[in-house]
Structure formats: structure tokens, C-alpha cells
Amino acid sequence: DAGVIQSPRHEVTEMGQEVTLRCKPISGHNSLFWYRQTMMRGLELLIYFNNNVPIDDSGMPEDRFSAKMPNASFSTLKIQPSEPRDSAVYFCASTLGGTQKELFFGEGSRLTVL
């Protein structure tokens, strides 16, 4: 069974550039989550979608961050413009049936902004 698939696995970019991270949830899962992991702040929930609709985006740091889920099998997290403090590992995760179910993570996208 395919798990959560994220791309790219690694991204190195310069400050000011646009970054787009992609996620394909597990087939049949209807809830999708974007997390960010840093040494200082640990794992933080940025946004989550249920049935493609954003339910809680209170963790999105600022207007430079945006997320979309145009269909049940694809989501993007965009940072524009990127800043060095955005450097982190960004994880996508999915569940079947909302937040009360087991959470399955992708392998993460490691972003470095120079």
C-alpha cells in the first residue's frame, strides 16, 4: 500500500523565492494535515483539511504561507516569498475520518532557505 507521498524530499532555495511543497494522501483518507518541524518549536500543525475543505488554519504563520487541496488526492503548501526562518522539515499526514483517527505521515520535505 502506498503511504503519504511528498515532494520534493529536499529543497534548497534563496530568500525571496517561491516554494511549493506537494502531498498525495493515502488513497481513501479524507483528512489531510500539514505540519512543520524545527528544533526550536518541535512539531506544529499548520493547517488541516477535511473533505478538501480547510478546517483549521490557525497554525499558518503568516500571509506568506498558503495551502490548497483542489481534490481528494492532492494538496500543496506554498511559501511566497520564502525567508531563512522558514527552513524546516514540512510533513504532510492523512487520516481516515478526521482528527480522531490514526495519523499517518509522509517522509517530509526538508526546506533550506539561504
Partner 1 sequence: GIQVEQSPPDLILQEGANSTLRCNFSDSVNNLQWFHQNPWGQLINLFYIPSGTKQNGRLSATTVATERYSLLYISSSQTTDSGVYFCAVARRSSNTGKLIFGQGTTLQVKP
Does 55 sit near partner 1 (CB under 8 A)?
Answer: yes
Q: Does 71 bind partner 1 (CB under 8 A)?
A: no
Handedness of CA 87, 52, 23, 99 (dihedral sign): positive
> Can you give the three-state secondary structure of 60-94, one letter per residue?
CCCCCEEEEEEECCEEEEEECCCCHHHCEEEEEEE
For the chain, the helix, strand and coil percentages under 3-state DSSP, each to the nearest 5: 5, 55, 45
Q: Is 25 in the site for partner 1 (CB under 8 A)?
A: no
Q: Which of 28, 42, 63, 71 binds partner 1 (CB under 8 A)?
A: 42
Among 34, 48, 65, 90, binds partner 1 (CB under 8 A): 48
Instruction: Report helix, strand or coil for 100.
Output: coil
> ∠83-63-53 over CA atoms, to 5°?
125
Q: How far is the CB of 50 from partner 1 (least distance, A)?
A: 10
Q: Which is nearer to partner 1, 80 or 99 (CB)?
A: 99
x/- letters, 75..104, toward partner 1 (CB under 8 A): --------------x-x-x----xxxxxxx
Site residues (vs partner 1, CB under 8 A): 42-45, 48, 55-56, 89, 91, 93, 98-105, 107-108, 110
